[in-house]
A and B are shown apart, each in its own frame.
Chain A
Amino acid sequence: MAVSLKDMLKKESILSSGHRLCAGCAAPTVVKLMGMALRGPTVVCEATGCLEVATTIYPFTAWKIPWIHVAFENAAAVASGVYEAFQAMKAKGRTKYEHLDVVAIGGDGATFDIGFGALSGALERGHDFVYMVYDNGAYQNTGIQRSGATLTGQETTTSWAGKVEPGKLQRKKPISEIVAAHKIPYVATVTPYHYRDFVTKFRKALEVEGPAFIHAFSPCPRGWRSETGKTMELARLAVETGVHPLYEIINGEEYVMSAPSKSLKELKPLDDFMKPQGQFKHLYRPEWESFRLKIQEQITADWELLKKKCGV
């Protein structure tokens, strides 16, 4: 069932003000949009990361719904336990709730890298939960280190742009497709700029039976060295340049292009996304021009392939 705009606006935020996330960080918006999609009651299992440390500095918390953090690499495993415990206790008449939505949240490091095993295991076992990654393309919480989600050419403190290397050399791990290859019922990519698309997809993720995965793009002004006021614009540009196209994958097979991506006549140049960010500045030096063009070629090729998969 889709969520109406009226319902979205009426819904109380699950995250209070007063959290300590950076100015311009998209993560709180991502969480608040998720909150608009929730059916409730819900339990959130969160991996270690920016969102975790900034929203729960003891003795304060910004969370208005039950929330648990255990470690960096295990949000999916913790969620498995929460889900199964609820099923067991329901069967034994030891809970007052008829239903419980379980959501796991991790940053890209916790999802693409260190927590990938736990995520894959949980998906294979088929617990009915939603896993959402908020992807800001690096380990932004501990400085700005590369992750499996870091884009080619992106400069981080462990993929420096130096005299002989132009930032990260490797491709970004195609997490949504890897997750979908587990043949789970629902996978979708979202951005906080396309908020209705976000909420609709998150609700769909909750409604399917079995695991679902939401890949949320989440600009990070601190790590990206972008202006704090440009976050939503960058989220939109990521879609329009093909860095983070919006689509769904149903049962691991059926690709469906979402409206904001589908309505694009053609991709905007990658420069539109990269130029406002300090982390790609080095790519505009003459020696990296061919490298930069190669990244553009890769993004364009990926986009064409995705369109084919979606039958567009």
Chain B
Amino acid sequence: MTKQVPQSEIRIEGLTGDAAIAHALKQCDIDVLSAYPITPQTIIVEDFQKFAADGEVKTRVIPVESEHSALSACVGASALGARVATASASAGLALMWEILYCAASMRQPIVLAVANRALSAPINIHNDWSDTYGARDSGFIQLYCQSCQEAYDTTIMAFKIAEDHRVLLPVMVCIDGFILSHNVERVEMLPDKAVQDFVGVRVPYQVLDPDNPITMGPLCLTDYYFEFKEQQDRAMKAVPEVYKAVEAEFKEMTGRSYGVVEKYMTDDADIIVFTHSTPAGTAKAVVNAMREKGEKVGLLRLKMFRPFPAEQVREAVKKAKAVAVFEKCMSFGAPSNPLALELRTALYDLEKKPMVTDFVIGLGGRDVPPTTIVDGIEKTKKYLQERSAPMYETLGVRK
């Protein structure tokens, strides 16, 4: 039974989001880390290599020649039954693309930390969500974090969710590049033993075992391929239940939990801001300020983008007059953008639907000050009066 860790055993440190993840990986006693450095993920790999160089981890680190090989080595290592992690961002994640699908479909519970970053061209090292949103259909679970503490906590929980036999799917733990990856925050760190007891040792379901040889990753044609995908989908559907159980246990140990969505003053809100990661922190400040002025606004912060918690989202926003989506990604040529598309689908069956407005913000690391959120809320108010809103628009960009 998981017990609460006494305050006296908790170490408080100032850590960047990357460093927090590196520490979590260290405490989870991973067997193999295979990674290629890319800004703004690099600190994770650097810090972990330092742990290895100092003999602080019993992990075999594979400093591969590309992200494609990073994830390929992870799949091989995981197939042998090892606990495995890697990290990437942007172009690196794009180079992994092919293997993302293999990792998920081969049901390997790999944890992939991503410091979200824009994709080329033009080349840009700063934050938006184009990289992981593009990978939303790869079969990875996607969890987005708002703080360095959450990055640390989520990484630890990710192994337990991924390795659960009802799931056996890889997980992306996402933090906003630079905004979290390079920003030092207060992080409460658990004692090593508490983390190890919590995550345990990986119990693989099927492995490459010479005494019981199996063939993994075969050719599968029209007669069976579809069944593989059906099973993968079923595994995804099992995620929320497992996530809930893992988080409940984590809460017993730490007092902290996040939920698949976080409701912030949504119950009586007329307008609900819907976003995730660091813009959600900014939006909270905006909600506080506007509430002081008597405006009924709230925030729904999404933590889990895959699988998308449609039911919880629908329940949380159904009484509002409008939902204002703020997202750092564009789906070129689509009717709106990924987060709003998901939301609109989730709401479609409601008889009385809130209006949905969609604001693309912060591409390529463009600053998202509170005024950008206010701007979107004000526009939403206007559209409510006009009873009509554009499918999406951009905020904070020169027109």
Identify the A interface with B (CB < 8 A): 40-43, 45, 52-53, 56-59, 61, 63-71, 73-74, 76-82, 84-89, 91-92, 94, 96-97, 100, 117-118, 120-122, 124-125
Tell me, yes or no, whether B121 is within 8 Å of chain A by CB: no
Q: Does B69 contact A66, Cβ atoms closer than 8 Å?
A: no
A117 CA to B36 CA in the complex, in Å? 14
A74 CA to B102 CA in the complex, in Å? 12
Stretch of B4-12, B138-146, B219-227, B237-245 at the chain-chain interface: B219-227
Residue in A43, A81, A92 whose beta carbon sits within 8 Å of that of B74 in the complex:
A81
* New contact pairs (5) apart from A77-B68, A88-B60, A117-B69, CB-CB < 8 Å: A66-B213, A69-B218, A84-B34, A118-B65, A125-B63
Least CB distance from A62 to B in Å reads 9
A89 CA to B202 CA in the complex, in Å? 11
Report the 7 A-B pairs with minimum CB-CB distance, sorted nearest first: A81-B76, A121-B65, A41-B210, A81-B73, A85-B77, A77-B69, A56-B218
Known contacts A56-B219, A66-B208; A82/B69 CB under 8 A: no
Contacts of A77 in B (CB 8 A): 64, 68-70, 72-73, 76
Q: Does A88 contact B64, Cβ atoms closer than 8 Å?
A: no
Known contacts A68-B216, A81-B76; A97/B210 CB under 8 A: yes
Proximity bits, B200-241, A CB within 8 Å = 1, else 0: 010000001111011111111100100000000000000000
A76 CA to B72 CA in the complex, in Å? 9
Which residue of the partner chain B has the closest CB to A43?
Answer: B208
A122 CA to B221 CA in the complex, in Å? 31
Contacts of A56 in B (CB 8 A): 215, 217-219
Contacts of A58 in B (CB 8 A): 218-221, 224
Contacts of B153 in A (CB 8 A): none
Q: Does B65 contact A120, Cβ atoms closer than 8 Å?
A: yes
Identify the B interface with A (CB < 8 A): 31-32, 34, 58-60, 62-66, 68-70, 72-82, 84, 98-99, 102, 106, 201, 208-211, 213-221, 224
A84 CA to B77 CA in the complex, in Å? 7
A52 CA to B64 CA in the complex, in Å? 24
Q: Does B217 contact A80, Cβ atoms closer than 8 Å?
A: no
Q: Does B80 contact A86, Cβ atoms closer than 8 Å?
A: yes
Q: Does B72 contact A74, Cβ atoms closer than 8 Å?
A: yes
A63 CA to B64 CA in the complex, in Å? 29
Q: Does A124 contact B60, Cβ atoms closer than 8 Å?
A: no
Least CB distance from A209 to B in Å reads 16
A89 CA to B32 CA in the complex, in Å? 9
Least CB distance from A97 to B in Å reads 7
A132 CA to B305 CA in the complex, in Å? 42
A-B contact pairs, 15 of them (CB 8 A): A43-B208, A45-B76, A57-B218, A59-B224, A64-B213, A66-B210, A66-B214, A66-B216, A67-B216, A68-B79, A68-B208, A76-B69, A81-B78, A81-B80, A121-B69
Which residue of the partner chain B has the closest CB to A82?
Answer: B76
Known contacts A85-B82, A88-B59, A92-B58; A80/B216 CB under 8 A: no
Which residue of the partner chain B has the closest CB to A91?
Answer: B58
Known contacts A65-B213, A77-B73; A84/B81 CB under 8 A: no
Least CB distance from B33 to A in Å reads 9
Least CB distance from A60 to B in Å reads 8
Q: Does B72 contact A81, Cβ atoms closer than 8 Å?
A: yes
Q: Does A80 contact B73, Cβ atoms closer than 8 Å?
A: yes
A85 CA to B70 CA in the complex, in Å? 13
Which residue of the partner chain B has the closest CB to A75?
Answer: B72
Known contacts A71-B72, A81-B34, A84-B73; A118/B79 CB under 8 A: no
A61 CA to B208 CA in the complex, in Å? 14
Contacts of B98 in A (CB 8 A): 71
Q: Does A68 contact B76, Cβ atoms closer than 8 Å?
A: yes
Contacts of B213 in A (CB 8 A): 63-67
Which residue of the partner chain A has the closest CB to B30?
Answer: A88
Q: Does B68 contact A74, Cβ atoms closer than 8 Å?
A: yes
Least CB distance from B347 to A in Å reads 38
Contacts of B216 in A (CB 8 A): 66-69
Q: Which of B63, B70, B82 has the most CB of A within 10 A?
A: B82
Contacts of B74 in A (CB 8 A): 81
Contacts of B60 in A (CB 8 A): 84-85, 87-88
Contacts of A96 in B (CB 8 A): 211
Q: Does B69 contact A65, Cβ atoms closer than 8 Å?
A: no
Q: Does B68 contact A118, Cβ atoms closer than 8 Å?
A: yes
Known contacts A42-B210, A68-B76, A85-B82; A118/B66 CB under 8 A: yes
Residue in A71, A80, A92 whose beta carbon sits within 8 Å of that of B62 in the complex:
A80
Contacts of A59 in B (CB 8 A): 224
Which residue of the partner chain B has the closest CB to A62?
Answer: B215
Known contacts A40-B210, A74-B99, A88-B60; A81/B32 CB under 8 A: yes
